[in-house]
């Protein structure tokens, strides 16, 4: 199923069957259309499925330097080629022993759970990976050697490195956890115990284990760990902070109802804990709420409080990545999804703002207004901040006590534009599971291309465009990529910008998909342009990958792209910069259009008939009409043959666009065709946009239909067919295209099916439907 979007005016009901969703955001309705192509046939995708049995990948890591993708799966660690996943793979078998499995079964666990699910996979250093698995409810860790040295590529476990994985890896394969590794230290959010009572945020190295307080519901209450990242504050590495994204259960002011909220928590990377109190506990842990909501009437906002996935889009200096959160509603009645974007400066501002305070758990939060001790609780022991302390162990007790009792900030973090950039109902039961984002430089600015995984094997490729003037968001669904044959939840999406590939993990395997396939958008400038895919631009010959000025290709000068508006009319008219020579055949008594459309709408067009050295300006009459698309002969005569020159005049600048040699043919065959085509209006109308038309050379049509008069008006579609459309199969498409670009001037946005893409299944492709190619592996 596919979606499409069109804007809805302010305050209209959005997409809820229960009218829960009302929004001032201009939102987007999703419609359906299906254009299926085989990703495989396109050589755009490969799938790795292991040895037939379900692969069950748990975690994946990209290693650009070794050109490998590491996949932690059930009982196996794979190393796959980034070039082509299903070639040249290596693997490490790391199953639990018989006695471990037996012990696991004895504890009453299912057979399927009693295996070694590799859930933690981090690049430890240039030559080693840190790998941890559930070890049949007995977590285990080891280092794996990777690299290019010696005979072939290395890929093996370091036997001596095998150690207990307790506190590093969950027991249960289904337990949520998140980890990140920085400077040899593993930061991890997980349940550390067999019974899943002890959710904790931890740091491990060989010497110390630092974590959140045990059994402190203020710090963590029933957390679900979703994401984590180390983000520097400034150039002083002692100020580096580790951010964790998770949901928590919170007791509300009445002390009864429990609600799920999304929080971002952070600690200093160099936090050593306290000396007398908070020993081996974070001395800098603070957290706050992330808001992702849509405003409704009567101040009733719809909140998306359940974080499904988070993506940290790094920028150049690493200090100000953009944080993309994929959220769902927690309502049992209505399920909806939203993507919100957060800026680091907003997150930092909240952590620098007031602390939250409440007398008792059942009271409301208020801002803490008394004196805050120094150094400010939550700051790191560093030169820039932290009052000149060299270690958190030196912090005054007062600071530690404060941070222990006030982990929560008063203000929440609001998203960019104070609203989601994307909204989605759970259509047909489809759930959204994962998000990854690529920053793409296009001609009219940079775009964030969102790749959103669903629970039915699809990755949606979407851009969202913010309109400052109207304060609205527009979503453009670019492609719907079905990456696995069987419907299964997407569990992981990794982007390699360097390779322009997407690596997608699900229960059944790992797929690799190229980020774009520009030629799918068709072989016409307008098709390419209207696709609004920031990866693609019209280069004068084909729709191809757009490169910025840096990689400018001189031989392909005319790059045309307009992601923001998709204005093909402006971009694609009069593409020929140098006067093009054309040959047009027509049939005597039939009609013919010599197409010539100026690039600029302001330009005036002049036609000349070349007679030897002489050029005679063509003056229009009843039979020869000068239209905005070119010179239209209603009934071509033999004497009309000749060379026609199309010139434009704009601001006094005369430019020759085209020289057309018109040949006029005769023939009885032609006559009979004309007669049969004149049989009845209905038949004619049906025929005008039919692919079987126009096999004869040159664009042509029944003359009768075109004679302007009271009874027989000029059929728009007939007219469209006339305007020099040489490939008959595309007439229909072309009709629609011109119709649409007309509409476009009224600021309606739409998009077209790629030419040559097979159309199957149900298609609600009325003229208002924005069509999106759907690419699938399914046959
Ligand atoms: C990576 O770490 C391992 C284990 O500590 C060590 O043996 C190896 O030499 C390290 N490699 C590099 C390149 O530092
Ligand atoms: C970790 O520490 C232990 C004891 O302090 C030591 O024996 C071991 O070699 C260390 N391992 C690494 C990888 O540094
Ligand atoms: C530039 O375009 C030409 C012609 O299409 C192509 O052959 C060539 O590989 C391109 N070069 C680069 C650097 O993209
Ligand atoms: C010879 C020729 O091109 N005839 C065309 C004239 O127009 C009619 C009506 O559309 C066409 O059917 C003929 O093919």
DSSP codes of every residue in 717-752: HHHHHHTT---GGGHHHHHHHHHHHHHHTTT-----
- Measure 220 CA to ligand 1 centroid, in angstroms: 35
* Angle, vertex CA 726, rays to CA 636 and CA 534, nearest 5: 140
- Measure 564 CA to ligand 3 centroid, in angstroms: 26
Q: Which long-range contacts (CB under 8 A, 24 or more apart) does 710-718 make?
A: 715/684, 715/685, 715/688, 717/685, 717/688, 717/689, 718/684, 718/688
Choose one of 553, 554, 557, 558 to mutate for the ligand 3 pocket test, by most ligand atoms within 8 angstroms of C-beta: 553
Contact status, residue 404 vs residue 214, Cβ threshold 8 Å: no
Mean pLDDT over the full length of the chain: 77
Q: What is the pLDDT of residue 560?
A: 63
Residue 8 C-beta-side C-alpha neighbours within 13 Å: 17
Pick the residue with more confidence: 773 or 274? 274
Q: What is the pLDDT of residue 347?
A: 98
Ligand whose nearest atom lies closest to the CA of 184:
1
Q: Mean pLDDT lowest for which of 452-461, 629-638, 699-708, 736-745?
A: 699-708
Q: Which residue has the tokens 């808001």?
A: 291
Determine how β-strand 501-506 pairs with β-strand 509-514.
antiparallel
DSSP 298: G
CB of 545 closer than 6 A to ligand 3? no
The pLDDT confidence band at residue 333, using thresholds 50, 70 and 90, is confident
Choose one of 556, 558, 559 to mutate for the ligand 3 pocket test, by most ligand atoms within 8 angstroms of C-beta: 556
The pLDDT confidence band at residue 401, using thresholds 50, 70 and 90, is very high
Structure tokens at 274: 């306290």
Taking CA atoms only, the protein residue closest to ligand 4 atom 10 is: 701
Ligand whose nearest atom lies closest to the CA of 664:
4
Determine how β-strand 199-204 pairs with β-strand 490-496.
unpaired
pLDDT over 90 (residue 456): yes
Ligand 4 atom at shortest distance from the alpha carbon of 688: 10
CB of 556 closer than 6 A to ligand 3? yes
Q: What is the pLDDT of residue 570?
A: 56
Q: What is the pLDDT of residue 272?
A: 93
Pick the residue with more confidence: 327 or 708? 327
CB of 126 closer than 6 A to ligand 1? yes
Pick the residue with more confidence: 715 or 556? 556
- Measure 555 CA to ligand 3 centroid, in angstroms: 7
Q: What is the pLDDT of residue 476?
A: 85
Contact status, residue 304 vs residue 292, Cβ threshold 8 Å: yes
The pLDDT confidence band at residue 10, using thresholds 50, 70 and 90, is very low
pLDDT over 80 (residue 362): no
Percentage of the chain with pLDDT > 70?
A: 72
The predicted model gives 470-499 an average pLDDT of 91
Q: What is the pLDDT of residue 545?
A: 87
- Residue 262's beta-bridge partner residues? 247
Structure tokens at 461: 């490729």
CB of 626 closer than 6 A to ligand 4? no
Choose one of 696, 698, 717 to mutate for the ligand 4 pocket test, by most ligand atoms within 8 angstroms of C-beta: 696
Q: Mean pLDDT lowest for which of 160-174, 183-197, 423-437, 680-694?
A: 680-694
Pick the residue with more confidence: 732 or 197? 197
- Measure 700 CA to ligand 4 centroid, in angstroms: 5
Determine how β-strand 630-633 pairs with β-strand 154-157.
unpaired
Is the Cα torsion angle 540, 544, 548, 553 positive or negative in sign?
A: negative
Contact status, residue 341 vs residue 324, Cβ threshold 8 Å: yes
CB of 700 closer than 6 A to ligand 4? yes
pLDDT over 50 (residue 141): yes
Residue 77 C-beta-side C-alpha neighbours within 13 Å: 25
Beta strands in 405-457 (DSSP E): 422-425, 432-442, 445-454
Helix (H, G, I), strand (E, B) or coil at 492: strand
Ligand whose nearest atom lies closest to the CA of 684:
4
- Measure 45 CA to ligand 4 centroid, in angstroms: 44
Q: Mean pLDDT lowest for which of 480-484, 543-547, 560-564?
A: 560-564
Taking CA atoms only, the protein residue closest to ligand 3 atom 9 is: 553
Distance CA 59, CA 71 (A): 6
- Measure 231 CA to ligand 2 centroid, in angstroms: 28
Contact status, residue 477 vs residue 5, Cβ threshold 8 Å: yes
Structure tokens at 395: 């912090």
Ligand 4 atom at shortest distance from the alpha carbon of 696: 3
CB of 552 closer than 6 A to ligand 3? no
- Measure 441 CA to ligand 3 centroid, in angstroms: 19
Ligand 4 atom at shortest distance from the alpha carbon of 687: 10
Taking CA atoms only, the protein residue closest to ligand 4 atom 6 is: 701
The pLDDT confidence band at residue 597, using thresholds 50, 70 and 90, is confident
Ligand 3 atom at shortest distance from the alpha carbon of 541: 5
Pick the residue with more confidence: 153 or 266? 266
Of residues 443, 331, 264, the one with CA closest to residue 18:
331
- Measure 556 CA to ligand 3 centroid, in angstroms: 7
CB of 673 closer than 6 A to ligand 4? yes
The predicted model gives 675-690 an average pLDDT of 36
CB of 166 closer than 6 A to ligand 3? no
Q: What is the pLDDT of residue 711?
A: 28
Taking CA atoms only, the protein residue closest to ligand 1 atom 8 is: 127
Taking CA atoms only, the protein residue closest to ligand 1 atom 3 is: 128
Q: What is the pLDDT of residue 101?
A: 96
Distance CA 8, CA 772 (A): 20
CB of 701 closer than 6 A to ligand 4? yes
Ligand 4 atom at shortest distance from the alpha carbon of 586: 3
Q: Which residue has the tokens 């047009």?
A: 584
Top mean pLDDT of 109-118, 474-483, 704-713, 721-730 is at 109-118
Determine how β-strand 592-595 pairs with β-strand 604-611.
unpaired
pLDDT tens digits along 198-246: 999 999 876 789 999 999 989 999 999 999 999 999 999 999 999 999 9
Structure tokens at 615: 């050029």
Q: What is the pLDDT of residue 715?
A: 33
Percentage of the chain with pLDDT > 90?
A: 49
Hey, what's the torsion of the CAs at 733, 736, 742, 744, to 10 degrees? -80
Q: Which residue has the tokens 């008006």?
A: 713
The predicted model gives 670-687 an average pLDDT of 40
pLDDT over 80 (residue 620): yes
DSSP for 560-577, please give it. B--TTT--HHHHHTT--S
Of residues 67, 132, 138, the one with CA closest to residue 100:
138
Ligand 1 atom at shortest distance from the alpha carbon of 161: 4
CB of 670 closer than 6 A to ligand 4? yes
Contact status, residue 187 vs residue 230, Cβ threshold 8 Å: yes
Range(s) within the chain of domains with CATH label 2.60.40.10: 1-44+579-779
Q: Mean pLDDT lowest for which of 370-374, 413-417, 561-565, 619-623?
A: 561-565
Hey, what's the torsion of the CAs at 484, 486, 489, 491, to 10 degrees? -40
- Measure 640 CA to ligand 4 centroid, in angstroms: 18
Ligand 4 atom at shortest distance from the alpha carbon of 587: 1
- Measure 14 CA to ligand 3 centroid, in angstroms: 46
pLDDT tens digits along 737-767: 433 333 333 332 333 323 222 222 222 222 2
Top mean pLDDT of 217-226, 624-633, 719-728 is at 217-226
Ligand 3 atom at shortest distance from the alpha carbon of 553: 1
Range(s) within the chain of domains with CATH label 3.30.1680.10: 524-575
Taking CA atoms only, the protein residue closest to ligand 3 atom 10 is: 553
The pLDDT confidence band at residue 702, using thresholds 50, 70 and 90, is very low
Pick the residue with more confidence: 553 or 354? 354
Yes or no: domain 524-575 corresponds to CATH 3.30.1680.10: yes
- Measure 562 CA to ligand 3 centroid, in angstroms: 22
- Measure 127 CA to ligand 1 centroid, in angstroms: 6
pLDDT over 50 (residue 128): yes
Q: What is the pLDDT of residue 149?
A: 60
- What is the CATH T-level fold of the domain 1-44+579-779, as seen in this structure? Immunoglobulin-like (2.60.40)
CB of 590 closer than 6 A to ligand 4? yes
């Amino acid at each position: 199923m596919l979606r499409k979007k069109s804007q809805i005016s302010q305050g209209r009901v959005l997409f809820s069957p229960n009218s829960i969703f009302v929004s001032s955001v201009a939102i987007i309705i999703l419609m359906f259309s299906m254009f299926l192509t085989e990703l495989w046939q396109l050589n755009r995708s490969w799938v790795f499925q292991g040895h037939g049995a379900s692969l069950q990948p748990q975690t994946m890591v990209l290693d650009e330097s070794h050109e490998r993708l590491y996949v932690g799966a059930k009982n196996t660690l794979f190393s796959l080629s980034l070039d082509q996943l299903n070639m040249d793979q290596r693997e490490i078998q790391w199953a639990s022993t018989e006695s471990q499995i037996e012990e696991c079964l004895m504890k009453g666990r299912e057979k399927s759970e009693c295996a070694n699910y590799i859930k933690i996979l981090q690049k430890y250093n240039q030559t080693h990976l840190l790998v941890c698995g559930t070890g049949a409810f007995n977590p285990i860790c080891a280092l794996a050697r990777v690299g290019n040295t010696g005979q072939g590529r290395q890929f093996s476990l370091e036997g001596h490195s095998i150690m207990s994985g307790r506190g590093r890896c969950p027991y249960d394969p289904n337990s949520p956890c998140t980890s990140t590794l920085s400077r040899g230290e593993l930061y991890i959010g997980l349940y550390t115990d067999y019974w899943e009572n002890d959710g904790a945020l931890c740091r491990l190295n060989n010497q110390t284990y630092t974590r959140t307080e045990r059994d402190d519901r203020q710090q963590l209450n029933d957390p679900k760990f979703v994401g984590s990242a180390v983000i520097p504050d400034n150039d002083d590495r002692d100020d580096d902070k580790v951010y964790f994204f998770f949901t928590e259960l919170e007791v509300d002011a009445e002390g009864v109802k429990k609600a799920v909220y999304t929080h971002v928590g952070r600690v200093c990377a160099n936090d050593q804990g306290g000396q007398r109190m908070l020993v081996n506990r974070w001395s800098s842990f603070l957290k706050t709420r992330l808001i992702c909501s849509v405003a409704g009437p009567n101040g009733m906002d719809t909140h998306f409080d359940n974080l499904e996935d988070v993506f940290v889009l790094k920028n150049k200096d690493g200090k100000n990545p953009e944080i993309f959160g994929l959220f769902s509603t927690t309502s049992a009645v209505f399920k909806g999804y939203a993507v919100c974007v957060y800026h680091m400066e907003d997150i930092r501002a909240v952590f620098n703002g007031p602390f939250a305070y409440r007398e008792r758990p059942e009271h409301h939060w208020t801002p803490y207004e008394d004196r805050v001790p120094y150094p400010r609780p939550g700051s790191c022991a560093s030169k820039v901040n932290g009052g000149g302390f060299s270690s958190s162990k030196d912090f005054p007790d007062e600071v530690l006590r404060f941070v222990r009792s006030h982990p929560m900030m008063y203000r929440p973090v609001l998203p960019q534009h104070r609203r989601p950039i994307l909204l989605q109902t759970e259509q047909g039961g489809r759930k959204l599971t994962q998000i990854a984002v690529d920053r793409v430089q296009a001609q009219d600015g940079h775009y964030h291309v969102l790749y959103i995984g669903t629970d039915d094997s699809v990755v949606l490729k979407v851009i969202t465009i913010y309109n400052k003037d109207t304060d609205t968001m527009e979503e453009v669904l670019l492609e719907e990529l079905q990456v696995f044959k069987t419907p299964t939840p997407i569990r992981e999406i990794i982007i390699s910008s360097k390779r322009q590939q997407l690596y997608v993990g699900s229960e059944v395997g790992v797929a690799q998909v190229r980020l774009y396939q520009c030629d799918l958008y068709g072989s016409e400038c307008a098709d390419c342009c209207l696709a609004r895919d920031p990866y693609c631009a019209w280069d004068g010959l084909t729709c191809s990958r757009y490169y910025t000025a840096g990689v400018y290709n001189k031989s392909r000068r005319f790059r045309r792209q307009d992601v923001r508006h998709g204005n093909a009319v402006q971009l694609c008219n009069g593409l020929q910069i140098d006067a093009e020579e054309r040959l047009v055949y027509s049939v005597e008594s039939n009609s013919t259009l010599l197409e010539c459309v100026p690039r600029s709408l302001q330009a005036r067009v002049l036609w000349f008939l070349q007679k030897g050295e002489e050029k005679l300006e063509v003056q229009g009459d009843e039979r020869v009409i000068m239209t905005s698309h070119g010179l239209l002969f209603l009934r071509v005569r033999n004497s009309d043959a000749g060379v026609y020159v199309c010139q434009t005049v704009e601001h006094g600048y005369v430019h020759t666009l085209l020289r057309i040699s018109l040949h006029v043919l005769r023939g009885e065959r032609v006559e009979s065709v004309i007669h049969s085509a004149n049989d009845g209006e209905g038949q004619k109308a049906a025929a005008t946009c039919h692919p079987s038309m126009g096999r004869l050379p040159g664009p042509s049509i029944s003359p009768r239909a075109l004679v302007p008069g009271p009874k027989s008006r000029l059929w728009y579609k007939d007219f469209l067919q006339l305007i020099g459309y040489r490939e008959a199969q595309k007439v229909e498409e072309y009709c629609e295209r011109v119709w649409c670009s007309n509409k476009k001037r009224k600021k309606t946005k739409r998009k077209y099916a790629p030419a040559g893409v097979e159309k199957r299944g149900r298609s609600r492709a009325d003229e208002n439907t924005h069509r999106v190619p759907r690419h699938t592996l399914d046959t």
